[in-house]
Structure 1
Amino acid sequence: MTSGCGHLKVQLEKGAGNLYNIYRRLLQIIYPSELKLYQMKAALIRCDVRGCTARQHELLLCTQCNTCRCLNHINEHAAKTSTLGKRHDFAISLEYGHIFCNDCHDYVYTAEMERLRTEAYDSNQRFLGLPRSGQWSLNTHCIEPIAITSSSNIADHSLRGIVNLGNTCFMNSIIQSLVHMPAMRDYFLSDQHTHPNTSKSVCLMCMVNEAFQELLQPNWEEPVVLKQLLGFLWSSSKQLAGYHQQDAHEFLITLLELLHSHSKPIESPILSTDCKCVIDKIFTGQMQSDLTCNSCSHVSVRVDPFLDIALNVPIPVNGELEAITLEKCLDRYVQNETIPCTNCEKCGGRGLTKQLTFKKLPIVAIFQLKRFHHEGQLRKKISSIVRFPMELDMTRYLTAYHTDASQFDSNKGSCSALKRQYNRYELYAVVQHSGSMDTGHYTCFVRRGQQWFKCDDDAVYAVPPSTVSMAECYLLFYQTTALKFQSPMDTST
């Protein structure tokens, strides 16, 4: 994005008031604050070129007519109008709200345009009952996407590996996954953390901040050594101490809890709805448990916070691996479960039906596939194949969806239906476990821009998405797309 567009400058000199008025009216469609404007936007979300399957964030609306084209086809419209002597040089992004210059083939802006865009964005947030612009930016464009070959045999020249200090692949995989989560990356790279004035002489947040800074430097030839961080974690958590192999999920939860305690001098416990620290802000969601009496239909509701979502993986039958999807695992997670030996708190009747749903989704959703099975003395790993999507819609697992699914029917034009975009997630990291429970090894796949990389301790190299999709996934890190299309100049929370 640039503010130095000569074509935009010429247009403004011809009539700044007219262009800004057009921009203001179009922003009302991009960031609607009325239901009829949402319906108008919904009618525009497709490229005019027959057969084009471009998604919403790739679509542009001409500022001088109602032509809607994707990035690949908008130049054809500009060229045609220019031939007819009617230059349609500018278009507006249906998702970003930014002006696109066909001559520069780039997004352009002025300070006044950015002010108008922010005002429209805040108005839309108020309409949806969502947070407005705040002090901390969670946009995903601080680091430009990189273009690199997808060959798995070529080392990447911008991502750094982490030295294995002795069975520390579990730590390396988790750190790489967190570093490449846009929400976490943007927080640390924008210098949001400052060492609190507390009795703690050592700050874990400061250590992680330094790790982020090191790992995101382009000094790819020299891997990072996290000796100080490992030593601190050993001293802070007895179960993590020593050179024997640890569980990556256990390490992740312990690390997040420790980061919470070091993020701010607050007394709120981890997973508290009153806590405003960065860890709770990014990772904490709310789970609702409904217990329905089979006799009197009384419903007992309980809401609990969560950091991650643990999903059961089917055990192979007759030695055959069952192919299953992440969505099927989630379907089983929220399906009704009969609890026959429990009494109703109201009528005393025996037998309840339990259902779990998500009352509030986090910014980053972490899924743990429960592959390690313990039953008495029996310990084994479940190697069932689990397919997972690059994009995940969590709408049908929400409490509100199970209460009234019709409000999420986009055909009914409901305001709530438009909130579905805040339930959509994109995959950014996958931690996989190979081998057995006793001799296994952790690696991870992380995403930068549209390119995926495999991180195997100090070795990092580019891989195609097909390699990622075949991973023996153990942990999946998804981030909501609601933050994806904010401007780098935004201060949206």
Structure 2
Amino acid sequence: MDSQIVFFCGTVVALAIGAFILWGPSSHRRRKPGYIVGLVNVGNSCFINTLLQTLASCSHLIDWLSSQKRIPGSLADAVCTTIMVLNGQQPIEGEYYTPSIVLKALKLHGWVISAGEQDAHELFHIIISALKDEVQATSFMSPLLYDKFDSLSLSLPSLGGFLFKRLTLAHLLDNYVSTETVKGVECEGCSQDQKCSRAIKSTAVKTLAFGKLPKCLCFHIQRTTWQPNGEAVKRYDHVEFPEFLSMDPYTFSQVYKRKTLCELGHSAQEGTKDGINERLSSSHARIRHLYRLVAVIVHTGGVQSGHFITYRRAPFREHCWYYASDHDVRESSLQEAMQACAYMLFYTKLSNNKSSSGPAVHS
């Protein structure tokens, strides 16, 4: 009798184990949309992980990648796959993901990333450049990537002028398009026998004259400065930045279309005393180029070494924010992100129907 019970119990256990192997839970885990997956650091690869987490919050890039024909081995396919994993749209084994396919695709483009300390801003340009190369090399990919991304490097003002003042993104943008004295330069507003002594900086001319802004806009805050002795030091100034940002003051909007570049050059500084907030004080003004913050990259540490982390908006729950540091991912908030010492800021453009009324814009 006892032997029969033992045999019966053994049979039940064997059947249970077999059923678990055949029909038990899969090691591939599909997370709910909006859940952010962490990334494995394979050795000083936080700059890669932080940028991939950021790109996974840029809806316009996601739409473009999703619309492309998937070409195995291409960087577009690797980035698209990684973004889907990060946003919980594709199952993976284990808790975290290793973005080895992105590294392999970059290597095929000739980019060899060393094991030392690297820069997320430089990698941003490498990835965008490589994606554009793929667009040019194949007829299967849409060229619409060219209006998706652009980046502006903004310098911090000298310490003497802002040591005890509130520093905002508006200050940096105003400085970016501020006028400077350039001798012997003619502009459309000058008479033929007169030369204007003030002209807009060449970088600003391109921004203002074309009025063509990308769907995703990256602001790089230059935090490395050089001492008189040649030593590089890092600036830790806190730069306040808004959730909603209007770029209208820095483009040829409807208001400025009839003005010449010379008139813009003379009036650029006059209307920027209080930055973005003052120029958007009227709630009735139509905002044509309204952007919303989707990610903040922070660099901790000094010039020679440190660590990159990301604050990013959840892809399917736009009011939810996450903190991502390699595999460490936790829920965060917009307030926490806006208190960070930003190194890179990522904004995506809102559609015209959303921007016509325009939410309150804070500087």
- The TM-score with structure 2 as length reference comes to 0.69
SS at match of 1:161: coil
Match of 2:135 among 258, 263, 270: 263
Q: Does 1:393 align with 2:239?
A: no
Deviation of 1:187 after TM superposition, in Å, equals 3.4
Deviation of 1:317 after TM superposition, in Å, equals 3.9
Q: In structure 2, what is the equivalent of residue 215 of structure 1?
A: 86
SS at match of 1:362: coil
Structure 2 CA distance for aligned equivalents of residues 384 and 338 of structure 1: 28
Structure 1 CA distance for aligned equivalents of residues 353 and 299 of structure 2: 29
Q: In structure 2, what is the equivalent of residue 87 of structure 1?
A: none
Contact 2:309–2:324 (Cα < 8 Å) also in 1: yes
Alpha carbons of structure 1 residues 230 and 446: separation in structure 2 relative to 1, 3 Å: same
Contact 2:321–2:331 (Cα < 8 Å) also in 1: yes
Q: Does 1:447 align with 2:299?
A: no
- Larger relative contact order (C-alpha < 8 A, sep ≥ 6)? 2
Provide, for residues 288-309 of structure 1, a one-character-per-residue CA deviation record: whole Å limited to 9, x for no partner. xxxxxxxxxxxxxxxxxxx211
Structure 1 CA distance for aligned equivalents of residues 353 and 307 of structure 2: 32
Q: In structure 1, what is the equivalent of residue 26 of structure 2?
A: none
Provide, for residues 141-167 of structure 1, a one-character-per-residue CA deviation record: whole Å limited to 9, x for no partner. xxx986xxxxxxxxxxx2101111111
Structure 2 CA distance for aligned equivalents of residues 264 and 371 of structure 1: 34
SS at match of 1:324: coil
The code of the aligned residue for 2:119 comes to D
Structure 1 CA distance for aligned equivalents of residues 162 and 178 of structure 2: 27
* Aligned positions of 1:28-43 closer than 5 A: none
Structure 1 unaligned regions, length at least 5: 1-143, 147-157, 268-274, 284-306, 487-493
Structure 2 CA distance for aligned equivalents of residues 456 and 195 of structure 1: 29
Q: In structure 2, what is the equivalent of residue 281 of structure 1?
A: 147
* Aligned positions of 1:191-202 closer than 5 A: 191-195=66-70, 202=73
Structure 1 CA distance for aligned equivalents of residues 161 and 176 of structure 2: 24
Structure 1 CA distance for aligned equivalents of residues 215 and 242 of structure 2: 18
Provide, for residues 8-60 of structure 1, a one-character-per-residue CA deviation record: whole Å limited to 9, x for no partner. xxxxxxxxxxxxxxxxxxxxxxxxxxxxxxxxxxxxxxxxxxxxxxxxxxxxx
* Aligned positions of 1:288-299 closer than 5 A: none
Q: In structure 2, what is the equivalent of residue 162 of structure 1?
A: 39
Structure 2 CA distance for aligned equivalents of residues 409 and 454 of structure 1: 31
Q: Does 1:361 align with 2:239?
A: no
Contact 1:323–1:384 (Cα < 8 Å) also in 2: no
The code of the aligned residue for 1:393 comes to S
Match of 1:475 among 307, 325, 344: 344
Q: In structure 1, what is the equivalent of residue 297 of structure 2?
A: 431
Deviation of 1:344 after TM superposition, in Å, equals 4.5
Deviation of 1:314 after TM superposition, in Å, equals 2.0
Q: In structure 2, what is the equivalent of residue 249 of structure 1?
A: 121
Contact 2:147–2:213 (Cα < 8 Å) also in 1: no
Contact 2:298–2:342 (Cα < 8 Å) also in 1: yes
* Aligned positions of 1:233-244 closer than 5 A: 233-234=106-107, 236-238=109-111, 241-244=113-116
CA RMSD of aligned residues (A): 3.5
Alpha carbons of structure 1 residues 318 and 209: separation in structure 2 relative to 1, 3 Å: closer
How many percent identity over aligned positions? 23
Deviation of 1:208 after TM superposition, in Å, equals 1.3
SS at match of 1:308: strand
Which range is displaced more, 178-187 or 250-259?
178-187
Q: Does 1:178 align with 2:55?
A: yes
Q: In structure 2, what is the equivalent of residue 371 of structure 1?
A: 223
Contact 1:314–1:384 (Cα < 8 Å) also in 2: no
Q: In structure 2, what is the equivalent of residue 230 of structure 1?
A: 103
Q: Does 1:338 align with 2:338?
A: no
Alpha carbons of structure 1 residues 362 and 379: separation in structure 2 relative to 1, 3 Å: same
Contact 1:205–1:263 (Cα < 8 Å) also in 2: no
Contact 1:314–1:322 (Cα < 8 Å) also in 2: no
Structure 2 CA distance for aligned equivalents of residues 461 and 186 of structure 1: 25
Provide, for residues 246-274 of structure 1, a one-character-per-residue CA deviation record: whole Å limited to 9, x for no partner. 1111100110010111135469xxxxxxx
Structure 2 CA distance for aligned equivalents of residues 369 and 169 of structure 1: 19
Structure 2 unaligned regions, length at least 5: 1-31, 260-278, 356-363
Structure 1 CA distance for aligned equivalents of residues 289 and 156 of structure 2: 24
- The TM-score with structure 1 as length reference comes to 0.52
Q: In structure 1, what is the equivalent of residue 332 of structure 2?
A: 463
Q: In structure 1, what is the equivalent of residue 274 of structure 2?
A: none
Deviation of 1:320 after TM superposition, in Å, equals 4.8
Give the length in aligned residue pairs: 288
Contact 1:321–1:383 (Cα < 8 Å) also in 2: no
Contact 1:453–1:460 (Cα < 8 Å) also in 2: yes
Alpha carbons of structure 1 residues 259 and 483: separation in structure 2 relative to 1, 3 Å: farther
